[in-house]
Amino acid sequence: MKPFYGLLLLVVVAAGCRKNLPDDSLSLSKDTQFTQTLYQPVLGRNNLFSGNFNPGTSSLPVDFKIVNMRRFNGEAAPELNDYFPVKIWKKAYDGTEKSLAEIEGKRGVENHKLFEIREHSGQFLMWDAAKSDFVKSQPDSGYVFDVEMSNSGGKRYFRKMRLRPFRERPYEPSNFDPVTGQEVRTSVNPSVVSNIRGERTNRFLGSSDIQVLFNKVTGGPGNTISFKFVDTLFRTIDPNKFATTQWENVVHGFNMVKTAEKVTYQVAYPIPLNDYPTKYTTSSGAQASSMFRFERIGFGNTLQKSILGLNYNIYEKGDWEIIFWFKTEKPRFAND
């Protein structure tokens, strides 16, 4: 009998130990939350919303999905529930690509919903294929949606989150009203104006003396950007006057053509292609950075290095001109 009782005791002890083992399912805590519940992307460009989710003490990983996407009035929203072709990167872009073909070879097309949540991070993404001709934009009240969060411990729902897109702004800095989509001024100002003297007054010019205009030209191949310079009367200033410009670094473009009127590049859109820092962008990579330079000898035989620059984005594919208009007086290029 002793062996039998010994075996019985072992079974009882083992069962007791099993009861004391921790549950291997994950937990969903009540302190988990989205720190942002209203999303206002700009249509016509990729918008990533990050840093918007606080997991609290929930066990990771968790899975997310958008459920019950509908218009604010309760109607169905097929424009945000259906799938559309969007451009994605198959290989990393790093700014060293030597041709349009090489850039396009790194991109592909996939079908996605136009507004998505990343499965494990909770980040939201509005794709650039979303346009105001079929997606509701402000001043419309937009959309309402819920988010399902889950792991092996269960599910939790975040209700009545809001999506209110702004209309397209094809470039930045922008002169368009974000709600109406109408121009509120004709131009923007340059980002950099350094050591440029006016020809008439010899004073240093500032950003308020120079206007920048974005002009989309029709009838071209749809993949170019041109830079032009004009005086107070809108007469052409020869780009060659900006003699120390590193023309190969003005923009990530190809097959440059420089004439007495403008300099043109073949480019891939958008500009910049993503937010990876390159020699063609700001230090953050968020904007393209085009700099134009010249030098002259000033009084006292001093060398003056002059810079005119613009930090910008262009989201809409086409044949764009960026025109620098010296509105108050033209720059002094000649030596003193």
Mean pLDDT across 218-240: 98
pLDDT at site 263: 99
pLDDT of residue 2: 47
Indicate whether 84 pLDDT > 50. yes
List, for residues 285-316, the tens digit of each pLDDT value: 999 999 999 999 988 899 999 999 999 999 99
Distance separating alpha carbons of residues 230 and 262, to the nearest angstrom: 10
Pick the range with the lowest mean pLDDT from 29-33, 186-190, 297-301. Answer: 29-33
The answer to whether residue 33 scores a pLDDT higher than 50 is yes
pLDDT at 11: 44
Task: Identify which of 140, 121, 7, 109 has the alpha carbon closest to the alpha carbon of residue 60.
Answer: 121
Instruction: Look at residue 1 in the predicted model and tell me its pLDDT.
Output: 47
d(CA 96, CA 268) in angstroms, rounded, equals 13
Specify whether the CB–CB gap between 258 and 265 falls below 8 A.
no
- In what helix (H) or strand (E) does residue 2 lie, and over which residues does it extend? helix 2-20
Query: Looking at residues 255-268, what average pLDDT do you find?
Result: 99
pLDDT computed for residue 4 by the predictor: 44
Please give the pLDDT value at position 24: 53
Least confident of 27-31, 230-234, 268-272: 27-31
The mean pLDDT value for 114-135 works out to 97
Mean pLDDT of 84-98: 98
> How much is the pLDDT for 111?
99
Of the chain, the percentage scoring pLDDT greater than 90 comes to 85
Residue 7 has pLDDT above 60, yes or no: no
Lowest mean pLDDT: which of 17-26, 194-203, 210-219?
A: 17-26
Q: Decide which of 20 and 73 is more confident.
A: 73
pLDDT above 80: residue 226: yes
Query: Which letter does DSSP use for residue 116 in this model?
Result: E
* 309: β partners: 192, 291
Close Cβ partners of 146 (under 8 Å, ≥ 6 residues apart) = 66, 67, 68, 157, 158, 159, 160, 161
Q: Count CB neighbours of 315 within 10 A.
A: 18
Is the per-residue pLDDT at 329 higher than 90?
Answer: yes
Give the tens place of pLDDT for each residue, 59-81.
888 999 999 999 999 999 999 99
- Residue 10: pLDDT band (50, 70, 90) is very low
pLDDT for residue 25: 61
Q: Is 239 helix (H, G, I), strand (E, B) or coil?
A: helix
Cα 175 from Cα 211, distance rounded (Å): 12
Lowest-confidence region among 3-7, 42-46, 230-234, 330-334: 3-7
> Distances in Å between the alpha carbon of 5 and those of 2, 16, 17?
5, 17, 18
When pLDDT is averaged across residues 241-254 and rounded to a whole number, the result is: 99
CB hemisphere CA count around 238 (13 angstroms): 6
Contacts of 177 (CB under 8 A, 6+ apart): 183, 184
Q: How many CB atoms lie within 10 A of CB 282?
A: 16
Please report the DSSP string for 8-64 in residue order.
HHHHHHHHHHHHHSPP-S----TT-EES--EE-PBTTS-EEE-S-EE-TT--S--EE
Which amino acid, residue 317?
A: K
CA separation (Å) from 225 to 212, 253, 258?
Answer: 14, 8, 12
Q: Output the pLDDT for position 156.
A: 92
